[in-house]
Each structure stands twice: as C-alpha cells, then as structure tokens.
Amino acid sequence: MLDHVVANAKRPSARVGQGSSLLAVAGEARVHPSTVSRILRDDPAVRVRPATRQRVIAAAAALGYVPNANARGLALRRTTTLGLIIPSTANIVYEQIIKGAESAARAAGYVLVLAESADVGQVDSAHRELILGGRVDGLLIASGTLRESLPRAVLNGVNNTIILNRRIRGSVPSIIEDDERGMARGVEHLVALGHTRIACLAGPEEVDTATRRLSGFKEALRAAGLPVSRGYIQRASFDEAGGYEAMLRLLQLERRPTAVAASSIVAAIGALAACHATGVSVPGELSMIAFHDATIAQYLTPSLSTIWMPLFELGEMATRQLLEVIDGRDIPSVQRLQDPEPRVIPRASTAPPPAD
C-alpha cells in the first residue's frame, strides 16, 4: 500500500490558498508527496485506502492546489494539449463543437487550442506546426473544404489526427453527424405544413457535409412523393453572402417555391435578408428552415425555424476518440453520431403555404 505518512512533516495551514505546492498538500493529508501525485492524476496502479484518497482530494481542494501540467506532461512524454482547426472563428455553428471538445479535453486533463483555417493549404501548415512541431498531442480538423491534397501524414492517419464531420479518402479516422437524417427532418416539417414546392439552398459541391444534406433533402422529397423541381436546388457558400445571392436566384424563378430548406443557418440569415430586400414576406409568402440551431435564430425577424444537431456531443465524442488514438487504441475509420437524434425547432419562419 502507498499509504505512507510523512514523518515529522510540518502541516501547512489551509490558508495557503491558490498555487499551493504538492508538498503542502502532502503535509496537510499526512501522506508522501508521490502518493498525492498519483492519486490526483488517477494513476490506476496506486493502491491506497478510500479514506486516504478522500483526505488527499479534500486537502488539495482546501489548499487550492493545481497540478503542474508541465511536470505531468514530462512524466507522460506528452504536451497534454490538443488542437482543433476550424474554418472560421466567426461561424456560429462551431461554438457548440468547441464547447464540447473543450469539455472532454478538460475532463481528461488536457488543454484545447484553436487554429483557424479556411482552406487546405492552411490546414497543411497548421498540421506541420502543431503536430509535427510537437506543440500538441493530437489534432481535430473541421476545416471547410477537405480535398485530396492534404498532407500524406494526415491522409494515412499518422500523428494522432481525426477529421471532424468530414469524410476524405485515406485511413484517417472521421466522426460525422447524421446530416442526411437532419435535413430529412426539416423537409418532413415543411411537408407536414402542406408545402409541395420546396427548394434547397445547398452548400458547396466540394464539401462533404453539403453533399450529405442535399442527399437527405432529395430522399425526403422522394419519400413524400414530391418532385425536385427545376431550379429549386441552388448552391450557396456557407456564409451570409452566399445565402443572399442564392435566395435572389430562387425568387427570380417564374414559379417560386413556397418553402426553402437552407443547408446552413449562416446562409439562411443571408437568405432572410434577401427576402426583406425584395419585399417577400416570411412566412406569408415563403417559409424557411435552416440546418443547425443557434441562439441568434430566436432573435431574427421572423424567428428562424431550425434543425437542431448534436454539435456539443460531436465535439465531445471526437475529442474522446482522439484521446483513444493518442493512447494507441484503434477506432473505426468512420463513426456516425446518431444519439441524440436531429430534431426540428419550429419558430415563426415556417407556416402553411399561401393559397395560389
């Protein structure tokens, strides 16, 4: 048993406060410093009495002790830091992914650092700097356009890398949402309201998530016995400007749709602006639902109906799987997060279609 009492140790006062040392905690708990270290880092090999473990934890809390990450990293030969590359820090969709990833990293004793990268070339640079440069132990990549030109080390799954909500060729693991099911839920909501002329603001062709959402859109229309009308699928970048321009194209059609499903909530914000600019009433003349939910949706005019997706859980799951890879365990090449399921959050932007 590692239940050693520190002989002749002078017990420090509980008033030592933040920044207390390992020795201070050991003195307060009346154990050897190595016992404190092993208990606080959850060493599975440590054997102590439950009362001793509780005494150490209580002493560390009372003294405000924070383990030294550098020392822990040296012992484990790790940086205890993870990296997350996202296309844009301004994109509201990534807020919950970041929170989920940070929560899982913190629970494992890791720190999460962010890098912004909108294109493949910058992902390559960030990968070299963060992973190959030894700055992080593992990397999550959620970059917007992942093509075949990623570095070979990434494509071969080397150096502890996971692709977040994207699928690319190669053995690098990826974790994705059930985008098809999410978009289908949105279309089903519009069909239930009585819409038969439903359009889609689809994302860029080279983006895997956009492809999967468009697939879900088409499948839901087929299941409802509705056609994909000519001109009703308009490509739009995942930003406000892309949604604005794509919506203008839809509104110029001779037979306009009565409902639109947008593949991105950010693009949907631009689409709403296009409706306001052209005097098209939402939802009086046109209903709209957007993929992904965010706080801003309920404060738009009108409030925006959305398709809620488990983004927080996606960030959590991806981080936990990355830690498995770092520990040398094998994980599936592609995993789909299906629990919790996507769901529609109806708001004021969707209503039954107007009479012809």
Residue 132 is assigned to a structural domain of this protein? yes
Q: What is the pLDDT of residue 149?
A: 46
Mean pLDDT of the chain: 82
Report how many domains make up the chain.
Answer: 3
Residues 60 and 89 in one domain: no
Helices (H), 161-297: 179-192, 208-223, 240-251, 265-278
pLDDT digits (tens, 9 = 90+) for 277-316: 999 999 999 999 999 999 999 999 999 999 999 999 999 9
Q: For the domain that residue 39 is a member of, what is the CATH number?
A: 1.10.260.40
Tell the residue number behind the tokens 């789909």, with chain if given.
Answer: 336
Residue 56 is assigned to a structural domain of this protein? yes
- Sequence-separated (6 or more) residues with CB below 8 Å from residue 323: 104, 108, 110, 138
Residue 353 is assigned to a structural domain of this protein? no
Helices (H), the chain: 22-29, 33-40, 50-63, 69-76, 94-107, 120-127, 152-155, 179-192, 208-223, 240-251, 265-278, 311-326
Residues 327 and 293 in one domain: no
Residues 49 and 143 in one domain: no
Q: What is the pLDDT of residue 305?
A: 98
Domain of residue 202 covers 179-309
Taking the chain (356 residues) in consecutive chunks of 10 residues, what is each chunk's mean pLDDT? 39 42 84 82 75 87 68 58 84 91 91 73 56 73 57 55 77 87 97 97 88 96 94 92 96 95 96 97 97 95 97 94 88 87 97 88
pLDDT digits (tens, 9 = 90+) for 142-174: 865 544 445 554 554 446 888 888 776 666 788
Q: What is the pLDDT of residue 18?
A: 39
Sheet holding 259-262, edge to edge: 233-235, 198-202, 259-262, 287-291, 305-308, 343-345
Structural tokens at position 27: 């003195």
Q: For the domain that residue 278 is a member of, what is the CATH number?
A: 3.40.50.2300
Q: Please list, residue by residue across 290-301, b when 16 or more beta carbons sit within 10 angstroms of its beta carbon and e when fewer do.
A: bbbbbeebeebe
Residues 203 and 234 in one domain: yes
pTM (2 decimals)?
0.74
Residue 4 is assigned to a structural domain of this protein? no
Residue 349 is assigned to a structural domain of this protein? no
Structural tokens at position 35: 């016992």
Residue 343 is assigned to a structural domain of this protein? no
Q: What is the pLDDT of residue 299?
A: 96
- Sequence-separated (6 or more) residues with CB below 8 Å from residue 67: 37, 40, 41, 109
Residues 148 and 210 in one domain: no
